[in-house]
Structure 1
Amino acid sequence: MGGHHARHGVEESLSMRRLALAVIVPIAVITLAALAWLWPTEDVAPVDQQSSAEQLNGRVTSVETEPCPPDQEPAGDQRCGTARVRLGDAADAEVVEAPLPTGQGAPPIAEGEDVVLLRLEAPEGVEYAIVDHQRGRGLTVLTIAFALALVAFGRWRGLTALAGLGVTFALLVLFVVPAILGGESPLLVAIVGSAAIMLTVLYLTHGFSLSTTVAVLGTLTCLTLTGILSAVTVSALHLTGMTDDISTSVGMSLGINMQGLLLAGIVIGSLGVLDDVTVTQAATVTELAQANPAYGFRDLYGAASRVGRSHIASVVNTIVLAYAGSSLPLLILIVAGDDSLGGVVTDQVVAQEIVRSAVATLGLVAAVPITTALAAFTQQRVQARTA
């Protein structure tokens, strides 16, 4: 029995290396070449800002409230008055005064809180305005807690998952965003960036195995399919990608093709769920093959597909809930309005979210049979050689 498992491991290792040399290595080389070709070589010029206000950090030392003017109604627990803010941690740091922010969305201010101010040059002299709270310390604590929980539960896998998360963040910040700002095609940049993320993160997180290689092939195939489907759908429905003030501002001030940016968002957003499905399917086929070496292609494909159907049913609900959660203010406006259901659904704002969910779902549905078939075929070849 021990000799059989050793031989099985050797055969799988040989099959994995052959597959990597024949398919994965060329894909990696093409991805690296595309990264080098699209990599931004010049610093992106900053957008001209209408306001030259300097941003400062400080701590509120005291708050003096006063009755609000009749024409200024504070929202929620906001108050009118003045806050004294110390600019720095030193005892002799400058202390300035700023009016308490009021209005919809203005942050409520209390003594002892760390805040962000703007230093404004006015004809009457220098003025200060409180615009937000500082969140650096809280986010640092949350990030540390997240990392510790992941490593404590996942151990080595948790550590590699953190490394993979770092690679993803680095590629998005250093390549995807600067390349799009540099004028490259957003869809092309998204596909190349997603391929680089996928190749690095999957092998880093799950190890260099036959199962991971199959998951990479399945993810890349379905990611390409998702890109094609999203391009066809967005073009057919005449979606522009400009649905709110932020997207309109980005398109007008930076000259970015917002339709292409919409496609890029769909591709990148689909990647995280796609690799989850493909890794699960590849691992399921591997476990089934090891549990019952007598299983052939049809047995492995049928059993793993049943698992995949259950997985897809839950993942689709996850996708819809994720988009619904991020678009909750929009849903509230829709429910509060008197528009007909047909008019609401066909509106570009809602149609764009429907396209995101539908295209991502089609990519996931395709991922199950494609990855399962690849995994069953490779496992059958491995078992045939060990027989």
Structure 2
Amino acid sequence: MSPTGIAILGSGIFAKEAHLPAIAALGTARVALKAIYSRSEKGAAGLAADAQEALRLDARPDVYFDADPARDLDTLLARPDIAAVIVVLPITTQPAVVLRALAAGKHVLSEKPVAADVAGGLALIKEYEAAYAPKGLVWRVAENFEAEPGYQAAAQAIKDGKIGKVTFFNARVVNYIDKNSKWYNTPWRTVPDYQGGFLLDGGVHTIAALRLLLPSPMQTLSGFASLAKEYLAPHDTINAAVQSSSGAHGLVELTWGAPTPSRSTRAFNGLTVTGTRGWLSINQVQVLDGGAPVGVLRTTISTLQTDADGRETGETEEVVDKRVMGVEAEIASFLDALAGTDDGLGAPRGALSDVAFIEAALKSNGAPVDLLALVEAR
């Protein structure tokens, strides 16, 4: 089978630092990067040069940008050798570009979140399902936490009953962002024109991981949102109590407004899920592989042991390490879907529920919000 011809739309940090290495890992037998688009020629040319080096290409991918009608986005989308595009653009820009690509007959993998708000996401999904899915076009949302082998392994442990019936859970993400951060020094983040700021852009990752782990969907949320650092407006902190449709409940703490670095490094960030027969935790750690540090997601599973009479005899502990490779996994899943094998990763309606969680937490002010009702097609 010949490699799938793709283009990357967007030339920012994540396109360079995450998507290019993932495409390189997948190899030229699976994917051929044909072109780069950015709003500016400088951005597109820069990523094209990085791509040539990272992918060890004989020539740079072709460059497209808005100022030249002969090399603009529509010209790129008209190319028959490009079957699919990866959209890595600002949150409010992406939906219109997703539709332009679909209208041009291209399959689409667009970065999370699916849209800036639930209403916009629903409108986008309904148009895709009505006009483009029937034509066989594939659109997936690139949510790398959902695709991470570490979270997948933890979810499987829960499905296998290693901790019994899930009863409660906890997610804690405490981040320190100052004005020197490369993530802050991006124009569309510095002056966000969408709800939640970093909470939407980064918070959906944690919610996607919980969506994967929990046996039933999160249904009711009561939370509060606030702003600790003025330059992270409109909000940088969420604390929420959540109940799933099965009755399990938990606490979700998300902040990008830690006052000092130590508040983040000593926060014990991660996820825990507790059941009737044990519990598991998931944390990102560094391990050495051939002397080089490698990021892994470590799942520690503690299971209650009983004797033949049902008396508790202690607990066993199992540790599962999986290399962090979610972007590679999500692109591989997308390519598999193009070939007719769909594992369900990146479903737009799943990504919409992640946005719904953040939106509900931003607006709740302590009042309960029905998350399932929020994402119902209207």
Q: TM-score scaled to structure 1, two decimals?
A: 0.24
The structure number with the bigger radius of gyration is 1
Q: Higher RCO, 1 or 2 (CA under 8 Å, sep at least 6)?
A: 2
Q: TM-score scaled to structure 2, two decimals?
A: 0.24
